[in-house]
């Protein structure tokens, strides 16, 4: 094994936020806008929030720190704070929060919030704002665009959130905050709350006890009509199939879909962005439906089915391999979180969970598609390890990761070759899988690993991150060390952006190499319990994994892989996506 990079044990000391709380206590008789917000963050189930200071949000941070049941996680930059909040929402299944300063902070974080919007995550983006008098008094302010117009950040966020509010008056703050949180919970989308710097500590109403986790209900007439129509259609089929899409999570319908699959015995597949949302140990599970790069045998069964029920699909160029799905659209039912379409008929205000629950009692058992799948599928090939000095390949790396997974594990994969290798792994019962396929922002995984580890209630996070992606957001490794989180990160060093190489290669896909394992020593600076090493052979990898399993802190294993070693499905997928991107301009 390559030489390990060790750090000294962390010297325990009182965190700065605890020192602050010793000097300041929350006076529940005199609520402020900031302490009201803190209470509401608690009420929706948040225990940690991700923050960076700036002069427009300093008073707000003071107020939030008074709440001892909330822990502030200080990140290295605002983009990473947003990614961390993304990961936290995935882990908890609830909302998350990130607090930044105006303009230079808020605009830095907006990319991460856009990703959360695309991925249906209830991220609460909180920003300090200019003094309420500044615009009326025609003041030019620092950190702004040099114009006396300070509503532009809210306007920009309106495109990537479900609701935006600016709080300029303390009496109006409670209703605005509650409305924004309601929206985040009900729509499973980010919201934006801006609090003026001179309002954050202003007195306001006490937070009246109330609930936020309300379940939307369907229109009973529309639901009944949809169930009857869909049941008649599916019961008349010979080989019906269920396909899960990513919006099953947004609809909170995973359990309902599993119950339906158990009762009707249909063959069940997942689209790639829905991997891990349903147990892959279910007897009816056929694998990943991804066009030409599907699980062997899966696409053949789905494409020839005489009836399909898609639950929450998102048919993008990425999830369809350049729009290469071949199912017959006239035979497909498309169920989205709040509506369902069958043929020319759309049933609105029909919530997916209600629909699936109702269908479970109406569909006749039919395993025709599953029987056909079992005839054409083949046993999964088990890759045998080579000799200890055999140079590493991605296949051997992911064969080891497969063995690492257990019922408590979560596997998080960054955009790139890790998508395709991760798709081929079999998730044990209870294991989770996270991917940002719709937005696909490289670098997401580092911040998301921080947030996910803080939010997860069991097991250990395993992250697979390419070197190109890692270089965008590497600083957050130091935050993981600071707060003692313990993911195992496999950093795949193959010298560039592999996914971009397979879509369209050029010199821009080559990056400057780093000594990634040594960064653990740099970021630790003598504190914490993190550990890193570099491996290039199968034997070194095996020793590194054994060591990582023993350790309680973050472990980073830098894996040296040949630049041209990538999953064959990435080659197929990249070719199709490239063809879709390069279609001739028909307007010319």
CATH topology of domain 31-196: Rossmann fold (3.40.50)
Cα distance from N-terminal residue to C-terminal residue, the chain? 58
Q: Is the dihedral of CA 57, 63, 65, 70 positive or negative?
A: negative
pLDDT for 18: 64
pLDDT band at 501 (very low <50, low <70, confident <90, very high): low
Contact of 49 with 38, CB cutoff 8 Å: no
Q: 170-223 pLDDT, tens per residue? A: 999 999 999 999 999 999 999 999 999 999 999 999 999 999 877 889 999 999
Same fold, 220-376 and 394-579: yes
- Is the pLDDT assigned to residue 557 strictly greater than 90? yes
- Is the pLDDT assigned to residue 525 strictly greater than 50? yes
The pTM score is 0.93
Q: Among 33-42, 404-413, 505-514, 549-558, whose mean pLDDT is lowest?
A: 505-514
pLDDT band at 267 (very low <50, low <70, confident <90, very high): very high
Pairwise CA distance, residues 46 & 511, whole Å:
38
Pairwise CA distance, residues 359 & 263, whole Å:
10
pLDDT for 13: 38
What value does the mean pLDDT take over residues 277-301? 96
Contact of 465 with 441, CB cutoff 8 Å: no
- Is the pLDDT assigned to residue 502 strictly greater than 70? no
For 534, half-sphere exposure in the C-beta direction (CA atoms, 13 angstrom radius) is 13
Contact of 485 with 499, CB cutoff 8 Å: no
| CATH architecture classification, 220-376 | 3-Layer(aba) Sandwich (3.40)
For 230, half-sphere exposure in the C-beta direction (CA atoms, 13 angstrom radius) is 32
Q: 109-140 pLDDT, tens per residue? A: 999 999 999 999 999 999 999 999 988 889 98
pLDDT for 512: 87
- Is the pLDDT assigned to residue 87 strictly greater than 70? yes
Pairwise CA distance, residues 486 & 479, whole Å:
11
**Which pair of structure tokens corresponds to residue 75?**
């990140």
pLDDT for 255: 97
- Is the pLDDT assigned to residue 405 strictly greater than 60? yes
Give 3-state DSSP helix, strand, coil % of the chain, rounded to 5.
Answer: 40, 15, 45
What value does the mean pLDDT take over residues 142-147? 90
CB atoms < 10 A from the CB of 402, how many? 18
Q: Is 118 left (phi over 0), alpha (psi -120 to 50) or beta?
A: alpha
* Residues contacting residue 479 through CB under 8 Å, at least 6 positions apart: 73, 74, 75, 76, 80, 84, 450
Contact of 61 with 201, CB cutoff 8 Å: no
CATH class for the region spanning 394-579: alpha beta
pLDDT band at 500 (very low <50, low <70, confident <90, very high): low
Helix 254-264 with 352-359: angle, nearest 10 deg: 20
What value does the mean pLDDT take over residues 222-227? 98
pLDDT for 12: 36
pLDDT for 136: 85
- Is the pLDDT assigned to residue 14 strictly greater than 80? no
* Residues contacting residue 563 through CB under 8 Å, at least 6 positions apart: 494, 495, 496, 498
Q: What is the mean pLDDT of the chain?
A: 92
Where are the alpha helices (H) located in 24-105, listed in sequence order?
A: 33-43, 58-65, 78-92
Using DSSP bridges, classify how beta strands 285-288 and 267-270 pair: parallel, antiparallel or unpaired: parallel
What value does the mean pLDDT take over residues 557-576? 84
Task: Classify burial at 143, counting beta carbons within 10 Å of its beta carbon; exposed 0-12, middle 13-18, buried 19 or more.
Answer: middle
Q: Where are the domains of the chain?
A: 31-196, 220-376, 394-579
pLDDT band at 504 (very low <50, low <70, confident <90, very high): low
Q: Is 229 left (phi over 0), alpha (psi -120 to 50) or beta?
A: alpha
Q: Beginning with the edge strand found earlier in the chain, give each strand of the sheet holding 410-413 in spatial order.
A: 5-6, 531-535, 555-560, 488-493, 461-466, 410-413, 432-435
Where are the alpha helices (H) located in 332-443, listed in sequence order?
A: 352-359, 368-376, 394-404, 417-423
Q: Hey, what's the torsion of the CAs at 524, 530, 535, 539, to 10 degrees?
A: 160
Contact of 234 with 309, CB cutoff 8 Å: yes
């Amino acid at each position: 094994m390559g030489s390990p990079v060790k750090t000294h044990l962390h010297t325990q000391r009182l965190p700065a936020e605890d020192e602050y709380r010793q000097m300041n206590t929350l006076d529940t008789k005199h609520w402020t806008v900031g302490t009201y917000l803190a209470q509401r963050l608690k009420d929706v189930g948040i225990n940690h929030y991700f923050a960076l200071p700036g002069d427009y949000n300093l008073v707000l941070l003071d107020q939030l720190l008074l709440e001892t049941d909330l822990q502030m996680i200080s990140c290295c930059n605002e983009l990473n704070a947003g990614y961390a909040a993304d990961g936290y929402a995935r882990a908890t299944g609830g909302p998350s929060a990130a607090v930044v300063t105006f303009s230079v902070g808020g605009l830095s974080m907006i990319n991460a919030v856009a990703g959360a919007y695309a991925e249906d995550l209830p991220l609460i983006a909180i920003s300090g704002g200019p003094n309420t008098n500044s615009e009326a008094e025609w003041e030019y302010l620092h950190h702004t665009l040099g114009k006396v117009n300070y509503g532009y950040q809210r306007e920009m966020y309106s495109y990537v959130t479900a609701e935006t509010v600016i709080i300029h008056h303390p009496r109006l703050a409670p209703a605005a905050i509650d409305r924004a949180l309601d929206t985040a919970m009900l729509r499973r989308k980010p919201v934006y709350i801006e609090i003026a710097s001179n309002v954050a500590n202003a007195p306001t109403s006490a937070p009246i006890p109330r609930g936020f986790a309300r379940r939307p209900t369907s229109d009973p007439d529309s639901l009944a009509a949809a169930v009857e129509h869909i049941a008649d259609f599916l019961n008349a089929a010979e080989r019906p199939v269920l396909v899960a899409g990513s919006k099953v999570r947004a609809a909170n319908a995973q359990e309902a879909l599993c119950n339906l699959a158990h009762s009707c015995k249909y063959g069940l597949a997942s689209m790639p962005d829905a991997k891990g949302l349903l147990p892959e140990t279910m007897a009816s599970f056929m694998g990943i439906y991804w066009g030409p790069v599907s699980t062997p045998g899966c696409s053949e069964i789905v494409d020839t089915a005489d009836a399909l029920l898609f639950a929450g699909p998102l048919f993008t160029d990425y999830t369809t391999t350049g729009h290469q799905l071949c199912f017959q659209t006239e035979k497909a039912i498309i169920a989205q979180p709040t509506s369902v379409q069958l043929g020319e008929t759309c049933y609105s205000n029909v919530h997916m969970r209600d629909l699936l629950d109702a269908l479970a009692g109406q569909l006749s058992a039919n395993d025709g598609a599953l029987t056909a799948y079992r005839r054409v599928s083949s046993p999964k090939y088990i890759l045998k390890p080579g000799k200890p000095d055999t140079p590493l390949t991605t296949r051997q790396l992911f064969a080891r990761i497969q063995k690492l997974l257990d019922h408590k594990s979560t596997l998080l994969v960054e955009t790139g070759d890790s998508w395709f290798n991760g798709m081929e792994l079999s998730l044990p019962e209870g294991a989770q899988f996270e991917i940002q396929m719709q937005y696909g922002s490289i670098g997401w995984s580092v911040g998301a690993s921080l947030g996910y580890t803080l939010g997860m209630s069991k097991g250990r996070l395993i992250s697979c991150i390419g070197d190109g992606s890692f270089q965008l957001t590497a600083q957050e490794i130091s935050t993981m060390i600071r707060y003692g989180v313990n993911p195992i990160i496999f950093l795949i060093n193959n010298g560039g952006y592999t996914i971009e190489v397979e879509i369209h290669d050029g010199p821009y896909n080559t990056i400057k190499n780093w000594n990634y394992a040594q960064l653990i020593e740099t970021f630790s600076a003598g504190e914490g319990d993190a550990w890193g090493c570099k491996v290039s052979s199968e034997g070194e990898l095996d020793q590194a994994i054994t060591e990582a399993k023993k350790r309680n802190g973050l472990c980073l294993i830098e894996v040296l892989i040949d630049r041209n070693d990538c999953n064959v499905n990435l080659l197929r997928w990249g070719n199709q996506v490239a063809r879709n991107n390069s279609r001739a301009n028909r307007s010319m």
